[in-house]
Amino acid sequence: MEIHEAFKRALQHLELAEKFLAEGRELIGKDPIQASEKLYKAAEKAVKAIATALNLDEVRKALEKGRWTLSLLDDAIYAISEKLGVKELMDWWDSAYRLHVDGFHDARLRSVDVAKRLGHIDALVNLAKGLCKSVSRDRLWLWAVLKSLV
- pLDDT, one tens digit per residue, over 101-118 is 999 999 999 999 999 999
User: What pLDDT score does 6 carry?
Assistant: 75
User: What pLDDT score does 5 carry?
Assistant: 78
Question: Dmax over Cα atoms in the chain, in whole Å?
Answer: 57
Orientation of helix 70-84 relative to helix 89-98, angle to 10° = 160
In whole angstroms, give the CA distance from residue 61 to residue 30. Answer: 38
Task: Give percent of the chain with pLDDT exceeding 70.
Answer: 87
User: What pLDDT score does 133 carry?
Assistant: 80
Confidence of residue 140 (pLDDT cuts 50, 70, 90): low
pLDDT in tens, 24-47: 999 999 999 999 999 999 999 999
Residue 106's closest CA among 13, 53, 52, 32? Answer: 32
Burial class (CB in 10 A: 0-12, 13-18, 19+), 74: middle
Look at residue 141 and tell me whether its pLDDT is greater than 90. Answer: no
In whole angstroms, give the CA distance from residue 136 to residue 23. Answer: 25
In whole angstroms, give the CA distance from residue 126 to residue 128. Answer: 5
Look at residue 139 and tell me whether its pLDDT is greater than 60. Answer: no
User: What pLDDT score does 3 carry?
Assistant: 58
Confidence of residue 7 (pLDDT cuts 50, 70, 90): confident
Residues in the chain: 150
What mean pLDDT do residues 69-76 have? 97
Domain boundaries, the chain: 3-149
**For 3-149, CATH number?**
1.20.120.330
